[in-house]
A = this chain, B = another copy of it.
Amino acid sequence: MTGRPTITQLAAELGIAPSTVSRAFTRPNLLKPETVALVQKAAEAAGYVPNHHARALSTGRAGAIGLIVPDIANPFFPPLVRAAQNYASDLGLSVFLADTDEDPNREDRLISRMAPQVEGLIVVSSRLASARIRQIADSQRVAFINRDVPETYRVLLDTSAAIRSALTHLSELGHRRIAYVGGPPQSWANKQRHSAVDNFSKAHALEVTHFSADPGTYEAAKALGDSVAASGVTAVIAFDDVIAHGLMGGFAAAGVDVPKDLSVIGCDDTLATTTFPALSTIAVNVGAAARRAVAALSENPGSTSLTGARIIFEGTLVLRGTTGAVRPTSSPLTLEPELDHPATRRVQTGRGSDS
């Protein structure tokens, strides 16, 4: 009828003051237990639910956080938003979700628009320039995931140690020539993985060829399959599982057997068991990262920005079915032969603050 009942209506009905009703919910220990019970019964009966907006206006606390991701359709993100949402829910917070569509401008707009109405923001895999990020972090409560800009609050899923394990493992299997197939070039994770591969290889006399499946899609990776197979490498490390999966699709189409002809290791463990053979990959604790970020936002609700921090969760190598010993004869596969040693295509090796 008259819409949802309000605290004032409840109070009138019970012949008590609105403030008392309010306190029955927010600070019941200040009230006589019987009063609390009375109010609760009436509230229950009337179907009263508190108005978040009024509360937010009064307390200055929004009761919500914002979560911004580049592309929710990428399988890396759903588990993350799930974890964030669950944990936020436990803390009594709702979560606004927004998708930037990989567009930095959209991301920037989204941040400005959401920031004022929430307790804080979680920005995952930001595509913004470092300078802008620092600027934002100065005036907004925002936690970044997988973006490493100094003096911001950031939680990072670090795979470099796991990548080193992966490379030593490959090396023990006899692999000497490996490929790294990168993803979105602006991605911090991509840069990080790229250099992890480079550094280790340099130190251990492995020869690495770089490829880039630029938008990071299955199709892009699949299209790269032939070139990778023909490049003479015997193992490949992919930026993430969807690229690994795409490569495997390309390999299968080209008749290249994994792991007999080529070993492949993915990253993120998003699809691992859904490929055949099951994908060896680097598992990464997105849930922990998400929860850490949520927790950070829920603390110190007063402050206008988060104090800088660099939280790291390390990934771990998990071996499944796509890695094996190098073929007895490591002679090139029978594909249209390219240049003997194709000039190793280097894809941006920048090691700035957000590498």
Contact = CB atoms under 8 A, between A and B. Distances in A.
A127 to B, nearest CB: 17
Copies in the complex: 2
Contacts of A274: 218, 242, 245-246, 249
A85 B86 CA distance: 19
Interface stretch (A29-37, A111-119, A168-176, A177-185): A111-119
Contact of A73 (B73, B79, B97): B79
Contacts of A99: 81-82, 85-86
A3 B115 CA distance: 13
A105 interface: no
Contacts of A304: 3
Interface string A61-79: 0101001000111010111
B4 A51 contact: no
Interface centre among A116, A218, A249 (most CB of B within 10 A): A116
A57 B50 CA distance: 12
Interface in A192-251: 218-219, 242, 245-246, 248-249
A86 B115 CA distance: 18
A309 interface: no
A310 interface: no
A218 to B, nearest CB: 5
Contacts of A3: 304
B117 A53 contact: yes
A193 B112 CA distance: 44
Interface centre among A4, A52, A54, A62 (most CB of B within 10 A): A52
Nearest to A139: B47
Interface string A108-136: 00001111110000000000000000000
Question: Interface of chain A, helix or strand or loop or mixed?
Answer: helix
Nearest to A94: B96
Contacts of A101: 86
A149 to B, nearest CB: 21
Given A78-B73, A82-B73, A85-B97, A273 B219 contact: yes
Contacts of A117: 51-53, 94
A14 interface: no
A251 to B, nearest CB: 9
A96 B54 contact: no
Contact of A82 (B72, B115, B242): B72
Interface in A264-306: 273-276, 304
A98 interface: yes
A10 to B, nearest CB: 14
A81 B97 contact: yes
A54 to B, nearest CB: 5
Contacts of A248: 276
Interface of A: 3-4, 49-54, 56-57, 62, 64, 67, 71-73, 75, 77-79, 81-82, 85-86, 89, 94-99, 101, 112-117, 218-219, 242, 245-246, 248-249, 252-253, 273-276, 304
